[in-house]
Amino acid sequence: MGVKDGRGPAEAAVQRSGIAKFFDFPKEGHTTISNKLDITAKMVLSQRQRDELSHLNLFSFRNRAIADYLRSNGYEEAYSVFKKEAELDMNEELDKKYAGLLEKKWTSVIRLQKKVMELESKLNEAKEEFTSGGPLGQKRDPKEWIPRPPEKYALSGHRSPVTRVIFHPVFSVMVSASEDATIKVWDYETGDFERTLKGHTDSVQDISFDHSGKLLASCSADMTIKLWDFQGFECIRTMHGHDHNVSSVAIMPNGDHIVSASRDKTIKMWEVQTGYCVKTFTGHREWVRMVRPNQDGTLIASCSNDQTVRVWVVATKECKAELREHEHVVECISWAPESSYSCISEATGSETKKSGKPGPFLLSGSRDKTIKMWDVSTGMCLMTLVGHDNWVRGVLFHSGGKFILSCADDKTLRVWDYKNKRCMKTLNAHEHFVTSLDFHKTAPYVVTGSVDQTVKVWECR
């Protein structure tokens, strides 16, 4: 066997087998394998595992693992040479002990590498924050304010998971809905609890203010929609008509109508003044999870367990677009504000229509762990944001138009720089799934709700 490059036959055999990448054989002036294994063991293995390994000859450990790998993968010639050169006495009992050991150890190394990359990403975030967000750095433009840890307030009071959180459009209060069948009102500036609205008999699924903040709509698994006078905190109307859990509700921009979505696969429109159902939109094949009107109220968007997002023309009930690229239940949707159109067009190369302006644009979040941005006029998916490790439960545009915020069952709140298609900030927001979020339109606050039964207020800067 040749030794022109300074390697012995065993090392040469390993090189030929293709697993040399797993071990750098010692060279003059380099860290030895023994040292490398010591370092890796400290980083990957538990204390008990390290104690067990300390009684082994690490070279023997390494060699037997390599020998098992060579033989189990059919490198018989390399195995024979390696076994001879390493002076290994392989027997059936030892074979079982070292079976698959090399792959297992390197799976641990891969997991460690992923953790290192995550820590490097967090370090870069911290550096960026230090240079641009602190008192020593440059002051951020309000359009670039993003939520910063830790939370300003963690509000407790609900006895079951929080399902939805929203800010009041005028006053310094926010409202939370819960599976405990109640709606609670909080002062987000002081963290004070103000009152509880009771009336529903099952989980409250969604809530919505009108533009003035005088009316609040709520919907529930009790199959009803309620309209509340938010000045007197009284229920002034209850609407019946859905045949199953009402999962979403929104007051239309003109304030005259309410739109709702249900597990009965329909979307209904209700007259605020009378409480009558005036329109029913049908087309989804499964539970409709959320419904949201666009800014002028001419269109409504809905998402469903059937893995689609649909856009409807309110006047005609026509389905204008069916958006189909998600691979699981679509949990949430959000319209892009017009202030973000120029940023979106620049980021995606979306063409301006004959009307002279781009859009409208829509966001969707899914159980497939992705966020998608859509051009409703063409039905095209403009981008897919990947990063969450579990179901995406809430998504919306930053009021400045440059960023997207999302929350998910991976317990995080994330800020996305969609121009560069990257997650620029991750906050470990709650102890359990994060079910909902809202961004105040004018004040520097974000609010989140969770299955951990808390509501958290985050200050932006």
The mean pLDDT of 386-397, rounded to a whole number, is 98
CATH class of 35-121: mainly alpha
Q: Quote the CA–CA distance of 304 and 331 in Å, as a whole number.
A: 7
pLDDT averaged over every residue in the chain? 86
Query: What phi, psi does 50 have (nearest 5°)?
Result: -65, -40
Asked if the model's pLDDT at residue 3 lies above 70, the reply is: no
Q: Between these two residues, 17 and 129, which has the higher pLDDT value?
A: 129
* pLDDT given at position 132: 54
Query: How far is CA 179 from each of CA 157, 239, 269, 449, rounded to the nearest angstrom?
Result: 12, 19, 24, 12
Q: Which residues of 231-243 are buried (b: 16+ CB within 10 A; e: fewer)?
A: eeeebebebebbe
Q: Between these two residues, 265 and 352, which has the higher pLDDT value?
A: 265
Domains 35-121 and 153-459 are alike in CATH topology: no
Poorest-pLDDT segment among 181-195, 252-266, 294-308, 342-356: 342-356
pLDDT above 70: percentage of residues in the chain: 80
Asked if the model's pLDDT at residue 211 lies above 90, the reply is: yes
What is the Rg, in whole angstroms, of the alpha carbon atoms belonging to the chain?
A: 29
Give the pLDDT confidence of 442-453 residue by residue, as tens digits.
999 999 999 999
Band (298; pLDDT cuts 50, 70, 90): very high
CB-based contact 216:207 (threshold 8 Å): yes
- Domain chopping of the chain, boundaries: 35-121, 153-459
Q: What is the pTM of this model?
A: 0.74
- For residue 294, give the nearest of 328, 262, 327, 320 by alpha carbon: 320
Poorest-pLDDT segment among 128-137, 240-249, 407-416: 128-137
Tokens encoding 434: 């994060």
CB-based contact 425:125 (threshold 8 Å): yes
Is the previous residue joined to 142 through a cis bond, with omega within 30 degrees of 0? Answer: no
Give the pLDDT confidence of 23-47 residue by residue, as tens digits.
444 444 444 444 544 555 555 556 5
Q: Quote the CA–CA distance of 363 and 380 in Å, as a whole number.
A: 12
The mean pLDDT of 251-278, rounded to a whole number, is 98
The mean pLDDT of 356-376, rounded to a whole number, is 94
* pLDDT given at position 69: 80
Band (84; pLDDT cuts 50, 70, 90): confident
Q: Between these two residues, 129 and 149, which has the higher pLDDT value?
A: 149
CATH 3.30.499.10 fits 153-459, yes or no: no
DSSP-derived secondary structure for 424-437:
EEEEE--SS-EEEE
Give the pLDDT confidence of 311-356 residue by residue, as tens digits.
999 999 999 999 999 999 999 999 999 989 999 998 888 665 555 6
Other CB atoms within 10 A of residue 37 CB: 17
* pLDDT given at position 103: 73
* pLDDT given at position 47: 59
* pLDDT given at position 123: 79
* pLDDT given at position 27: 47
The mean pLDDT of 225-234, rounded to a whole number, is 98
Asked if the model's pLDDT at residue 383 lies above 70, the reply is: yes
